[in-house]
Structure 1
């Protein structure tokens, strides 16, 4: 994947099959990014040789969701860890 707008779509995209029981809703785009970041769960990648004799792969996932927020250390805790 690449956010370069001068590249052709086939050069900067990856197709992913989502095997969820319901269609997931992609998260809202983030300001300043060329695409919306997502996380995938239970990824399966299967390599194969395509009809042109080139190596390709099939990517399947169980679920897609927005990126998880990581906890930021508090000032008090950060001060204790540094001491």
Structure 2
């Protein structure tokens, strides 16, 4: 079986402990490194949809997560609007709509390049979404199995 392209996933299934963003964090336009110059910023455009690409950094609340900070690319015609933060809190809980993932081999920790003897390449995930929303209320203890049984 061949899987082509990105895999659609549910934000809650991938991040069951929740995602949080600093209140001061903003959605930023993604830089198109091939078309931008040192003098001129060009925003990246999604090759499949032609829509603008934005970036947003969140924190994974999973205590076992290897990487706490995760950057998600958001494909949207307009700059996504973040949900309101709870009063007095330094973080805002978020979820992503239209979340997809794509695996890749991360060789950034390789000394001497990907073919080096001491390479610590690892499987990593690229995240892309179509929007950012406030988390939906969920009943306590509701597992993936009970959601599947209800469907």
Q: Normalising TM by the smaller chain, what interval?
A: 0.5 to 0.7
Partners of 2:82 and 2:132 within 8 A in 1: yes
Name 2:83's counterpart in structure 1: 27
Distance 1:55 1:23 in 2: 30
Partners of 2:82 and 2:133 within 8 A in 1: yes
Name 2:13's counterpart in structure 1: none
**Residue among 3, 15, 18 paired with 2:74:** 18
TM-score, normalization by structure 2: 0.36
Figure out how many residues of one structure are paired with residues of the other and give that number. 65
- Which runs of 5 or more structure 1 residues have no equivalent in the other structure? 5-9, 71-83
Distance 1:47 1:32 in 2: 37
Name 2:126's counterpart in structure 1: 58
Q: Greater relative contact order (Cα 8 A, min sep 6): structure 1 or 2? A: 1
Partners of 2:96 and 2:133 within 8 A in 1: yes
Distance 2:137 2:122 in 1: 39
* C-alpha deviation, 1:25, in angstroms: 1.5
Q: Kindly report the root-mean-square deviation, in angstroms, between the aligned alpha carbons of the 2 structures.
A: 3.0
Structure number with larger C-alpha Rg: 1
> What whole-Å deviation, never above 9, does each CA across 1:25-52 have from its counterpart, x for those lacking one?
2122113654211221111111111123
Change (3 A) 1:48 1:34: same
Distance 1:69 1:40 in 2: 14
